[in-house]
């Protein structure tokens, strides 16, 4: 699999998420397209991680995120009420592993976007079906755009493959540290 084509798409998504002087007017289509692009972007990223097409600073990295504990059960009828379902004063800044972020955005139970006063995207609120009763994540859209941009430019310099007879497959290290 040649990753350059996947990374071109990731770069396009990154550019679409960046702030602009005159953002598009709000519409349901615009929101859905942006949610789709973010979801597809995290799928592309996870696939490149799985195929060792990005360096370890991406595949093993973390992003800045904020975790907010649940204050009541989020379900199909109320999941859009994130202001009521989560304890916002208890929000905590943390580092979210990139692989976990991929899973949250690919398997989301809830994905909502917020815009700032200048109408640019500011935050993505996401939680997977697995974590919906525990907390919701708030991830700055600028963080997502930066991650996608960095991943689109990430090309491993070396790969080391060692056959693992127990797995009956190879264990692969991307840009292995010299020993």
Residue 123's Cα: distance from chain center in Å?
A: 12
Q: How far is CA 47 from CA 7, 58, 99, in A?
A: 11, 12, 10
Which tokens sit at 158? 């070396």
- Collect all residues with Cβ–Cβ distance below 8 Å to 163 and sequence separation of at least 6: 169, 170, 171
36-45 per-position pLDDT tens digit: 999 999 999 9
The pTM (predicted TM-score) of the whole model is 0.90
Is the pLDDT reported for residue 177 higher than 70? no
At 176 the pLDDT is 57
The residue to which tokens 């999941």 are assigned: 79
């Amino acid at each position: 699999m040649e990753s350059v084509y996947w990374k071109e798409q990731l770069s396009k998504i990154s550019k679409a998420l960046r702030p602009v002087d005159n953002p598009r007017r709000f519409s349901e289509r615009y929101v859905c397209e942006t949610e789709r692009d973010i979801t597809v972007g995290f799928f592309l990223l996870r696939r490149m991680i799985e195929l060792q097409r990005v360096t370890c600073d991406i595949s093993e990295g973390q992003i800045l995120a904020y975790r907010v504990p649940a204050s009541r059960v989020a379900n199909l009828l109320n999941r859009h009420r994130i202001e009521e379902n989560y304890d916002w004063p208890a929000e905590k800044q943390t580092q979210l592993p990139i692989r976990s972020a991929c899973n949250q955005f690919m398997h989301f139970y809830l994905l909502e976007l917020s815009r700032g006063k200048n109408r640019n995207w500011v935050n993505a609120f996401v939680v997977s079906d697995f974590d919906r009763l525990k907390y919701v994540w708030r991830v700055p859209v600028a963080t997502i755009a930066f991650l996608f941009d960095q991943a689109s430019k990430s090309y491993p310099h070396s790969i080391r493959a060692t056959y693992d007879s127990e797995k009956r497959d190879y264990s692969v290290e991307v840009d292995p540290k010299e020993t």
